[in-house]
């Protein structure tokens, strides 16, 4: 009985061991989020306002707004975390780190809005 419990625990330990993500995961995620944001912007750019009188035509622009906004927010967070990780090598006070993180988020948001 104890032998089976030991094997089970070992199997659980192996199954639940942390896995390192691929090295290029952040780059692929950034590329995907950027592509989604650009597609949403293109969709909204090609929108004809005269067609918006009919509520049946509201689905695509609404989806473009939601998906584009979500992808842009994810891109802001991803880039801010990337910059924060680069600056972590320097020791700083907690308030300095929080200020820098907020500044990075706002800077990245301004870049995406332009």
pTM of the model: 0.61
- pLDDT, residue 39, reads 93
Quote the mean pLDDT of the chain.
83
Q: Which helix (H) or strand (E) holds 107?
A: helix 94-113
Please report which confidence band the pLDDT of residue 69 belongs to, taking 50, 70 and 90 as the band edges.
very high
Rounded to an integer, what distance in angstroms lies between the CA atom of residue 65 and that of residue 46? 13
Rounded to an integer, what distance in angstroms lies between the CA atom of residue 13 and that of residue 7? 10
Rounded to an integer, what distance in angstroms lies between the CA atom of residue 42 and that of residue 66? 14
Q: How many residues does the chain have?
A: 114
């Amino acid at each position: 009985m104890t032998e089976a419990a030991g094997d089970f625990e070992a199997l659980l330990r192996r199954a639940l061991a942390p896995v390192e993500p691929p090295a290029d995961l952040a780059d692929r995620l950034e590329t995907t989020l950027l592509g989604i944001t650009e597609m949403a912007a293109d969709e909204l750019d090609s929108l004809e306002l005269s067609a918006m009188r009919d509520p049946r035509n509201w689905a695509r622009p609404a989806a473009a707004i939601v998906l584009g906004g979500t992808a842009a927010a994810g891109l802001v967070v991803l880039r801010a975390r990337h910059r924060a990780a680069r600056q972590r090598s320097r020791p700083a006070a907690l308030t300095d780190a929080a200020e820098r993180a907020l500044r990075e988020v706002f800077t990245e948001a301004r870049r995406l809005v332009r």
